[in-house]
Amino acid sequence: MSNQTQRLRLTQLAASIAFVAGGAAFVPAAHAAAPSAGTNISNIASASYTDSNGSSKTVTSNVVTTTVLQVASFTLITDQTKTANANGQVSLSHTLTNTGNGSDTFNVGVVNNDTRDGTTDSYDFTGLNVYLDANKDGVPDSQTPVTTVTLAAGESVNLIVQATTANNAIVDALGKLTVSAISAFDTSVTAKNVDTVKITNGAVISLVKSASVKNVDATLASATAREVEYSLAYQNTGNTTATNVTITDVLPAGLTYVAGSATVNGTALNDSTADGDGYDYTTGTVKLVVPTVVANSSGVLKFKVRVNQNTPAGTITNIAEVDPDGPGTEGKTPSNPNDITVLGVKKGTINDSTTDAFADGETPTATAPVDDVITKSTTQGTPVIFGTGVGAEPIVVHNTGNVTEAFNISINKNSLPTGSIVELFKADGVTPLTDTNGDGVADTGPVTSGATYQVVAKVTLPSGYSTATPISTILTSTPVTNSTAPDTITLVIDKVTASTVDLHNGDATNSTGTVVGASGKDTGQYIDTKSTKPGQATNFPLTVDNKGATGDNYNLSTSPTLPAGWTVQYYLADGSGNPTGAPITNTGNIPSGGSVQLVAVVTPPANAPAGDQEVIFKVASPATGLTDVMSDRVTVETNRVLSLQNDRTGQVAPGGTVVYKHTLTNNGNIVEGATAGSLLYTLTNDQAANGWVTSLFVDLNKDGIADANELVTGNDLAALTGSIARGASVNLLIKVQAPTNATAGTPSAVVLTIKPTVVGGQAVADLVNTDLTTVTSGQVRLVKEQSLANCSTGVATGSYTQNTVSAKPGECVKYKITATNEGNADVTNVVISDATPAYTTLKVIASASPVATNATLSTSTTALTDGSTGTVSAEKTPLVPNTSAVLEFVIKVNN
């Protein structure tokens, strides 16, 4: 493999696969990866300084963005060494794996000689071709050679190289050929294997390994369903008879040999060595000695293995080997690698046993009451808790698959009354079960293979519901990534005993009606009506009767919630019906048949709109869930309040502009500005005679910028603001421009006066704000640019730009931040600050990064080390007019 290929393995995705005869190949877990292709890394710099008036200022740069690109990476393994006769065909197997971060097409080929290191050989091959062996059975998938192979990220195939040795090659002559692959995504990423074939006049034994199935479900209880038959086809392609041909296969972990399953050419073999059939199985090793294999003859050894139950998902790679002369001088050669994929099976059950993972339709092994049904009783308004409590039957999810999986828990409430709520909690009964994977269904989160997860279900029925007939809900557990494997448990409520509570105003009358949720006395709308001013309280009498069979307590609230700003407080009533003591939120315990008298103190906000507001008082039992409501009404009188904020101060350079924002807020309870001429104003500037220009804008799009279409041209703000709703605000922008000959230190006072007219019979005092602008001579502008850079020298490799640049993981970008004094006086204490953005680290390179021009790097910056993160800054004082200070540094995209 080329050094360049190794260098480009930025994401640590490349796998090192060790081929051991008869052993399994494992891909190690991936290291932390570099940013994914397409990730945008954005960054903004900032600078602080003190202007000529001694004021502290802060400015920010534009945003620059770096986009992470895709990289290519793959492995091609491994070099092969075989023997062959002159003018004989050889087959050599190689494994190509895409270890990059995206789909890629690879150009593959084979040529004579060793192009990797330039070593020589004795002869050339003819008929060189590469064939695809996608199922890794050692046989080309077709007789059509391939020159390209497309693989998804992580996908692997075998490549079979076939070639014919030279007809004039002498014994012991060595022939070499080079197998190569090139990434089409990045043609600089290449890999090569070199195969060596030694000429012999003797026997040449090839061994091809295949399996009866490729994929196995290791979770199946049936041993037969997990069986795989291996075939080891051997053939003598040499010129002479081979003797004592020895085939050996060491079974990898996860497989168990099936006793008595071996045959050779259809004849049953005995697993013992004592019978003289040349076959033996001992502690995980299959061995067959064939006394003679004449030239151009072949045979096949078959035996069965079982994938061990609940073997973790993954690939079991098996390689056998053949020795053409047993104890003779010839060496062993491996078969092709063959893979069995242990499927990742996502399945599970949900039931009422912590030890028995029985599924729907299966008979539990545990004793009663384990039956996939949990039954409880309740009283009206009392939630039913399933799965927790002393002696209670649990709700248990069992992961019976062979991989870690999360299980969605869905709820079927079809047989529950309308309005019922079913909540799911973790085993503590407190922490809600949440949606951990974003598919909109609550789930368990990851549960390891063979583990369990307990769930608690809380069923809350409508407060007025009672029944003597059993009702139920069904919980369904489904693997998040396998919707075809659901399992259920049934939760039954066999009866709900009735209970009631009554909320009314306590007098002798009974105003009936149809207010939703009201029962007993006073079920009509607006039982009592009280008038009050905005911000002033009014009182309503309440009486709560407990008509249940047991003592109960009731939380006090309003439902629906009142508009923002409204408050309601509850008090116990004294003998005269007035509030007494501290506010309460609960009635306290009321015995069966008992009552309590309360006072509700309702306060509208200071800007409450004029008109009527319904207040629906509610009592609700936290123990039983019983509720009752009563409707009252508050009539709010009219109130008109406007405010204008705030007086502002600022600085401006000669000939420059400054914009002040003011906020006009309607704090009253009517809509302002609804009619033309209702918000008149004046705008004065005491420097108008000296060439100062002042304009008023309504910031319609709220971007803080005085746009041309937002200029107020008349004397009526309402013409541009339109209606200002209660509690709403509009932003006003006053733009002040100094003349070019303005002298530093000159003040300018701008006075905005808003004169609301009488609306609805109510007047409002004039609203006045004053802005004071002082001419200053210092003003700083900050610009940030970027370019790709050389990671070693820190030199920018392109032109600096404010636009987006693209960089691969491991590449570098150089930032340039320029602070320019555009004023006509010195500014002091200029500090240019920036920070290494996410997914990057700082490159510290002498005289290149970080570096300051017409400025000094801060002490904290000079202490930074290569590969660190944090703030990079430079300082300059003073910064004279029309000069710039520059900070440059290099960041590297993580790899």
The H or E element that residue 422 is part of is strand 421-425
Count the Cβ atoms, other than its own, within 10 Å of residue 578.
Answer: 11
The H or E element that residue 629 is part of is strand 627-636
> For residue 670, what pLDDT is reported?
82
| E strand residue ranges, 85-222 | 89-98, 104-112, 126-133, 148-151, 156-164, 174-183, 190-199, 205-211, 215-216
160-170 tens-digit pLDDT: 999 999 999 99
Place 45 in a pLDDT band, splitting at 50, 70 and 90: low
Mean pLDDT of 347-363: 93
Place 391 in a pLDDT band, splitting at 50, 70 and 90: confident
Q: What is the DSSP string of 241-258?
A: -EEEEEEEEEPPTTEEE-
Nearest-Å Rg of the Cα atoms of the chain is: 42
Checking if the pLDDT of 780 tops 80, the result is no
Higher-confidence position of 13 and 201: 201
Checking if the pLDDT of 457 tops 90, the result is yes
Indicate the residue type of 370: V
Q: What is the DSSP letter of 538?
A: E
Percent of the chain with pLDDT over 90: 64
462-520 tens-digit pLDDT: 877 889 999 999 999 999 999 999 999 999 999 998 788 999 999 999 999 999 999 99
Place 118 in a pLDDT band, splitting at 50, 70 and 90: confident
SS3 of residue 497 by DSSP: strand
Place 18 in a pLDDT band, splitting at 50, 70 and 90: very low
Alpha-carbon separation of residue 542 from 179, 621, 630 (angstroms)? 92, 16, 9
d(CA 619, CA 309): 58
Place 12 in a pLDDT band, splitting at 50, 70 and 90: very low
Checking if the pLDDT of 722 tops 60, the result is yes
Higher-confidence position of 27 and 141: 141
Please, which residues bridge with residue 832 across strands?
Answer: 47, 874
Q: Is 3 exposed, middle or buried (0-12, 13-18, 19+ CB in 10 A)?
A: exposed
Copy the structure tokens of residue 726: 């209660």
Classify residue 522 as left (phi > 0), alpha (psi -120 to 50) or beta.
left
pLDDT, averaged across the chain: 87
Checking if the pLDDT of 6 tops 60, the result is no
All domains in the chain, ordered by first residue: 74-199 (2.60.40.2310), 205-342 (2.60.40.740), 348-497 (2.60.40.10), 512-635 (2.60.40.2310), 654-775 (2.60.40.10), 780-893 (2.60.40)
Place 30 in a pLDDT band, splitting at 50, 70 and 90: very low
Classify residue 891 as left (phi > 0), alpha (psi -120 to 50) or beta.
beta
Percent of the chain with pLDDT over 70: 91
SS3 of residue 97 by DSSP: strand
The H or E element that residue 859 is part of is helix 859-862
> For residue 37, what pLDDT is reported?
62
Checking if the pLDDT of 746 tops 80, the result is yes
Alpha-carbon separation of residue 727 from 604, 605, 676, 756, 767 (angstroms)? 14, 11, 20, 17, 17
Q: Give the least confident one: 180-184, 198-202, 580-584, 757-761.
A: 757-761
Copy the structure tokens of residue 490: 């049934």
Alpha carbon dihedral 308, 311, 316, 318, in 10-degree steps, equals -20
Alpha-carbon separation of residue 633 from 558, 602, 622 (angstroms)? 12, 10, 26
SS3 of residue 224 by DSSP: helix
> For residue 201, what pLDDT is reported?
85
d(CA 84, CA 201): 8
Copy the structure tokens of residue 778: 């210092």
Mean pLDDT of 348-374: 88
> For residue 25, what pLDDT is reported?
38
Copy the structure tokens of residue 452: 């369990």
d(CA 579, CA 600): 8
Using alpha carbons, select from 183, 171, 234 the residue that is nearest to residue 207.
234
